[in-house]
Structure formats: C-alpha cells, structure tokens
C-alpha cells in the first residue's frame, strides 16, 4: 500500500528520467514530417487518458494546432490523415483504445501506440507500426510520468512547442517548492476523511487550464480511496448544478482546485459559490499549487491530489493499489 505513495512522491524523478528516455525513443521512430499535421488526437481511457488532458491544459492556448482528446470507441469523422493519432493504453488491452487504434489504421490516419505490451504492442509490432514501449508492472494511473513524457515527446514538434524542455524546467522549479506537497496533501486528506465519515461525497471543482489536476483528483479518489467522487467544471456548473445547493440533499463536500493563472472572472465566480456554501452550511476547501509557471503548477497540484487520495485510502483502511472491479469488468468483456 505504501507503493502508491512512493509512486506519487517520486513523480518528478520518474518524469525527469522519462523525458530523456522517450525523447530518444521517439527520435528513432519514422514518422511523417511534423509540418504535415494540423493537430493531434490523443486517445485513451482512465489512467491512460489523464496525460492527454494534462497536455491540453499545458499547451492548447499556445499552439495553433488542435489537441483533440478521445475517450470513445469511435473516431469522429473529421479526423483525417492530417492528424497524428496517439493511441495510449498502459496495458495495451483496453478495448476502447484498441478499437480506436484499428479504426485509425483502417482510415489511413498516421498512428503511434503508447503501451507497455498487450494486444496493442502485438498488433503494432506485427504490422511494423510505430510504438513507444513503457516499462511493465506499474498500475496505469501511477504510470502518469511515463505516459506524460511519452505523449509530450510525440506531440511536441507537431504542436510547435518545446514541451519536454518545459517539463524539465517545471521539475527544477518544483524541486525548490516541493516542501508543502506532502503536508498540504495530508492535511486535506484528514478533512475529507472526517467529511466522508459524515456521509459526504467529495465533489471536485476545476477550471481551465487546471482541469487535469481536478479530474485526476476525482479519479484518484475513486481508484485509490474506493469511494465515489465527482468532478465539475467551472464556469459551466454555475449555470445548472448551482441550483442544487439550495435543495434538500446535503450530500457533498467541495474542493476547488485552483492555479496561479486564475482570471478575475473566475475568482468572482468562486467567491459567489463560497458565500453560497457558507449560507447553506456546505463544507468546502481550496487546493492551491506551489509554483509560478503553469507546467510546475499542474504537476504540484497533481502530486497533492494523488497524496490526498492515497492518504484518504489509508485513513479509510483500504489498500489504494488494487482496482478489482475494473479488473472484473475487463474479464467480463473479454
């Protein structure tokens, strides 16, 4: 069970090693000229999805190329050979991602597989298609640094950004500011633990460009702590979900995931919610990052979210690592 915590706290180290490894691995692939692409499609589920969202948070307002995320079994019709399709499945055996990969091949879309093995590795190797190999034996959600570096290495030149350089500088910045990651994470885990014991369900609110830590927080509470947790995106929730706070159900405890680049319009919206929560006796907390630059801010928030979910698991007396029901589902579908 301490394995997960070690993974979470070692994220900067794994990311730094992965940047070197996948830069080299990608340089050995034969891929079309990056300038022929007008965007990238990143396809993957669960732990193999979150790194795509991270890159979208990091890059989408700075690249003129599209970053399209896919979590479906089908590819939208408009995706053509001017997109680089990155099919990400840590295990290589996720049906949704395998289908997308095969559909991409059928439609002559340039595809790269990112996987530790399984069907995805077998098919791409048999067909001589490019594949980035991840080290085996890691729970997919703990492979975040590997997946992130691999996808960044593959998409950087298409997007026209030095994503690996940015990640490297983010790790350096984080190293100077890491002190409070563990203490902030543990403090929030204790607050959430007491709320959960009072039958409150965590509801995580986030906004762009920090959607990946907010969504990661929700999925990590699900998979590590084995309880329900929900995610809502600002400002959209203010146009519907906001009505629920005045109702008869008092079911949630709220965490706002907040980054350094918080526009005034967002501050005002959060302030309104906080006042509403105070009035209605809704418990809420803020999770802040530690950094100046966006990449570092995202990484520090993800580390804190990971720590909270693992510590919450331990407080609840559950082992964060196994995800039996997901395994059973995959067997059922096989």
Size of the site for ligand F6R (CB under 6 A): 15
Q: Which of 43, 97, 189, 253 binds ligand F6R (CB under 6 A)?
A: 97
End-to-end CA distance of the chain: 28
Query: What's the CA gap between 2 and 7, in Å, rounded?
Result: 9
* Residues in contact with 230: Cβ distance below 8 Å, sequence separation at least 6, in sequence order: 201, 202, 203, 204, 218, 252
CA distance 326 to 324: 5
Least distance (Å) between residue 199 CB and ligand F6R:
26
Among 141, 226, 258, 304, binds ligand F6R (CB under 6 A): 141
- Asked if residue 326 binds ligand F6R (CB under 6 A), the reply is yes
Q: Is 239 a catalytic residue?
A: yes
Is 119 part of the annotated catalytic residue set?
no
Q: Which of 18, 89, 156, 253 binds ligand F6R (CB under 6 A)?
A: 89
Distance CA 83, CA 56 (A): 15
* Residue environment code for 62-94, b if the CB has 16+ CB neighbours within 10 A, otherwise e: ebebbbbbbbeeebeeebeeebbbbbbbbbbbb
Could you tell me the smallest distance in angstroms from the CB atom of residue 20 to ligand F6R?
23
List the interface residues with ligand F6R, window 276-305 (CB under 6 A).
Answer: none
Binding of ligand F6R by 155 (CB under 6 A): no
Instruction: List the x/- string, 202-241, binding to ligand F6R by CB under 6 A.
Output: ---------------------x------------------
Cis bond leading into 246, ω under 30°?
A: no
Torsion angle defined by CA atoms of residues 235, 239, 243 and 249, in that order, rounded to the nearest 10 degrees: -60
Q: Which of 90, 207, 215, 252 binds ligand F6R (CB under 6 A)?
A: 90
Q: Are strands 66-70 and 111-115 parallel, antiparallel or unpaired?
A: unpaired
DSSP three-state, residue 112: strand
For the question of residue 146 being annotated catalytic, the response is: no
- Selected from 11, 26, 45, 167, the binder of ligand F6R by CB under 6 A is 45
Interface with ligand F6R, residue 139, by CB under 6 A: yes
Binding residues for ligand F6R, rule: CB under 6 A, are 45-48, 89-91, 94, 97, 139-141, 223, 323, 326
Write out the catalytic residue numbers: 223, 239, 330
């Amino acid at each position: 069970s301490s394995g997960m915590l070690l993974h979470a706290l070692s994220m900067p180290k794994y990311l730094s090693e992965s940047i070197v490894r996948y830069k080299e691995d990608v340089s050995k692939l034969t891929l079309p000229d990056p300038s022929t692409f007008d965007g990238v499609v990143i396809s993957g589920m669960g732990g193999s999805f979150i790194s795509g969202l991270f890159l979208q948070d990091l890059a989408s307002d700075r690249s003129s190329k599209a970053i399209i995320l896919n979590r479906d079994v089908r590819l939208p019709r408009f995706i053509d050979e001017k997109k680089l399709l990155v099919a990400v499945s840590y295990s290589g055996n996720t049906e949704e991602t395998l289908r997308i990969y095969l559909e991409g091949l059928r439609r002559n879309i340039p595809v790269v597989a990112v996987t530790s093995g399984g069907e995805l590795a077998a098919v791409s190797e048999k067909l001589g298609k490019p594949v980035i190999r991840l080290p085996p034996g890691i729970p997919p959600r703990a492979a975040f640094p590997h997946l992130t570096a691999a996808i960044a290495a593959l998409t950087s030149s298409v997007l026209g950004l030095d994503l690996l350089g940015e990640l490297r500088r983010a790790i350096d910045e984080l190293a100077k500011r890491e002190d409070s990651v563990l203490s902030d994470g543990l403090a929030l885990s204790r607050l959430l633990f007491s709320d959960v014991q009072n039958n409150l369900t965590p509801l995580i609110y986030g906004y762009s460009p920090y959607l990946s830590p907010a969504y990661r927080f929700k999925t990590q509470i699900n998979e590590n702590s084995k309880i329900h947790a929900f995610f809502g995106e600002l400002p959209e929730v203010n146009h519907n979900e906001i009505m629920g706070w005045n109702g008869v159900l008092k079911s949630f405890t709220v965490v706002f995931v907040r980054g350094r680049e918080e526009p005034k319009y967002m501050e005002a919206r959060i302030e309104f919610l906080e006042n509403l929560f105070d009035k209605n006796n809704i418990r809420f907390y803020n999770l802040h990052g530690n950094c100046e630059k966006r990449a570092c801010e995202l990484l520090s928030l993800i580390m804190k979210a990971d720590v909270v979910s693992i510590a919450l698991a331990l407080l609840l007396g559950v082992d964060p690592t196994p995800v039996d029901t997901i395994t059973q589902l995959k067997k059922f579908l096989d």
